[in-house]
């Protein structure tokens, strides 16, 4: 089945339909490429990614609504909590962000998941495209190198093979690789104050 590419308007349409059909309180927190699409950092994605928070007695209905609307719109949708994949840094709940796009949702609160958690998840997977996605968060100043370093000190103690499925040394190698990419692109073309022009 051919699926349409996901742009901001399609994300908005999906969320508004979900809000109307589910008709109960809850939270939708965008993750992955969906954050980039909603914020205009990229034009499209192949699927909608988010983490949801709804009451226990509403979970079954919510999942069914997601499935029905995704089938109706012929789109791919992933509802996954990042904490099942990587340990999450302390205070991640308070660092969710309001989206730049406007949604008409009345019952569902629409946010972006904590950007630091998402960047650590990209690093853990470590594909070329993941590094590019992580760099977008740095370029748009949703995360800073200094804060990532600070949070990593405590986070690395939480690593285990049940969540991150790699040892801390491997994660740190990938983390340092991202920092090198960021510094090489961020400082390209800049001169230091002591450098004569």
Which residues contact residue 180 at a Cβ distance below 8 angstroms, ignoring those fewer than 6 apart?
none
- 4: nearest Cα among 103, 62, 70, 49: 70
Alpha helix (H) ranges present in the chain?
8-22, 32-38, 59-73, 115-125, 128-139, 145-155, 168-186
- pLDDT tens-digit readout, 62-116: 999 999 999 999 999 999 999 888 888 889 999 999 999 999 999 999 999 999 9
pTM of the model: 0.88
- pLDDT tens-digit readout, 27-53: 999 999 999 999 999 999 999 999 999
Q: How far apart are CA 10 and CA 122, in angstroms?
A: 24
């Amino acid at each position: 089945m051919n699926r349409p590419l996901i742009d901001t308007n399609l994300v908005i349409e999906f969320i508004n339909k979900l809000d109307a059909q589910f008709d109960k309180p809850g939270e939708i927190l965008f993750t992955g490429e969906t954050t980039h699409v909603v914020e205009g950092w990229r034009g499209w994605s192949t699927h909608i990614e988010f983490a949801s928070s709804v009451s226990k007695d509403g979970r079954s209905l919510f999942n069914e609504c997601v499935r029905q609307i995704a089938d109706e719109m012929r789109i791919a949708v992933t509802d996954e909590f990042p904490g099942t994949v990587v340990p999450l840094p302390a205070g991640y709940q308070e660092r969710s962000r309001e989206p730049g796009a406007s949604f008409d949702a009345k019952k569902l609160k629409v946010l972006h998941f904590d950007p630091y958690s998402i960047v650590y998840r990209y690093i853990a997977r470590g594909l070329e495209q993941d590094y590019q996605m992580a760099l977008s968060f740095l370029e748009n100043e949703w995360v800073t190198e200094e804060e990532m370093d600070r949070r990593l000190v405590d986070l690395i103690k939480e690593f285990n093979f049940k969540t991150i499925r790699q040892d801390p040394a491997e994660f740190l190698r990938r983390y340092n690789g991202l920092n090198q990419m960021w510094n090489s692109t961020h400082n390209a073309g800049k001169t230091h104050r002591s450098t004569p022009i």
